[in-house]
Every structure is written in C-alpha cells, then in structure tokens.
Amino acid sequence: MKLTTRGRYAVTAMLDLSFHGIEKPTSLAEIANRQEISLSYLEQLFAKLRRRGLVRSVRGPGGGYMLSGKPEAISVADIIRAVDEPIQATSCEGGSEHGCRPGSSDNKNSSRCITHHLWEDMGQHINQYLESVHLGRLLSERREGVEDGAPAVDPASAHPFRGEDGEGGSMTTGGRDGLSGS
C-alpha cells in the first residue's frame, strides 16, 4: 500500500485544523503556511473533506474552516477515504471477481496472484489501524509529547510529517515525533 501525497496532506491539514480550528475558523492560507502545502492543493482537498462532512466552512471576515465534529470522532481512515484515497494493499478492485493478474482484454482469463490473500489481509489490518487512530489521539500525543518520550511540540510550528531536523520518517512505524511520514 502506498499512501500518496493527497492522503498524507489531508491528514496533516486536518491535524493542523485540530490545533487551530476547534474554537475559531482557520484559513487555508494559514494551514498552507504552517504545513508548507500548496494553497490550491489544500482547496481541492478541503472541498472533498467538506463534501464528506468532516469540516465546515465559515464565510466572511475571520472565516475559514473548522472541524465538523470533535477530533475524537474523526479517524485517519475517514480522512483518507474522504479524499478518494484507497486503503488497500492489492491491485485488485474491491469486490471484483477479476484478479490482479490481467488476462485477455475481456478479463475472462484474469486470476489472482498467489499472494493475493496476504496483501488483502494486510490491507484490512492497515484499515483497522487507521480506523482506530483519531485526530483526538494524535492531537493529544502532539501536545503532550507522549510518543517516544518526545518533548511537547508548539503546534504553530509543527509539521506532523517531519521530525525536528525537517526529515521525514515512516508513517506506519512512527518517527521521531510519532507522526512522521516520507
């Protein structure tokens, strides 16, 4: 499974919004500056997040975005799915009778690879894990520096997918700040 920029940036922006958009709206420009994400890219992501009901927009002076619910009610899987990121480790289409190995052009001779069930099971475990991780937990870990004994982080300067040295880590194994990703 490969988590693309779309999924990583959506989670990053939503965690930033958890820090700053609980009591008052946060503009996408502010998130873009803090997290070094293109404003136009954030606009595309937030349109999808809004359609899925994860954020709400506030118009007018001082407007921006806020979480639609409590951070504890929004899972990382919800965010990733909202931006149309598949959470699967196989190349087969979900629920498809056709396999991951192409056959003829009409797919009559397609078949599943011999490791299909391994990757399918792994994808289910990843999905279950991402369902179990909520913004509230990530927010708490970042504020308290719980993971790996890391010091508390100033949310205004925090980049959830970069360590203190600006380098990325592994999102699935946890990095220096517990939210690192490459």
Contact between 110 and 101 (Cβ < 8 Å): yes
* Predicted pLDDT of residue 1: 59
- Number of domains observed in the structure of the chain: 1
Residue 169 lies in a domain: no
pLDDT at 173: 33
Residue 20 lies in a domain: yes
For the chain, what percentages of helix, strand and coil (3-state, to nearest 5) are there? 40, 5, 50
Residue 156 falls inside a structural domain: no
Q: How far apart are CA 12 and CA 16, in angstroms?
A: 6
9, part of any domain = yes
Tell me the C-alpha distance between 62 and 78, whole Å: 27
pTM: 0.70
Is residue 167 in some structural domain? no
Q: Look at residue 103 and tell me if it is in a domain.
A: yes
Query: Does residue 15 lie in a domain region?
Result: yes
pLDDT digits (tens, 9 = 90+) for 37-86: 999 999 999 999 999 999 999 999 889 999 999 999 999 999 999 997 77
Task: State the pLDDT at residue 148.
Answer: 52
Mean per-residue pLDDT pooled into runs of 10, the chain (182 residues): 84 94 90 96 96 94 93 95 77 58 56 80 90 94 64 49 42 36 36
CB 158 within 8 A of CB 145: no
- 3-class SS of residue 132: helix
What is the CATH classification number for the domain harbouring 38?
Answer: 1.10.10.10
Cα separation, 141 vs 83, whole angstroms? 24
In a domain, 163, yes or no: no
Range of the structural domain that residue 88 is part of: 5-149
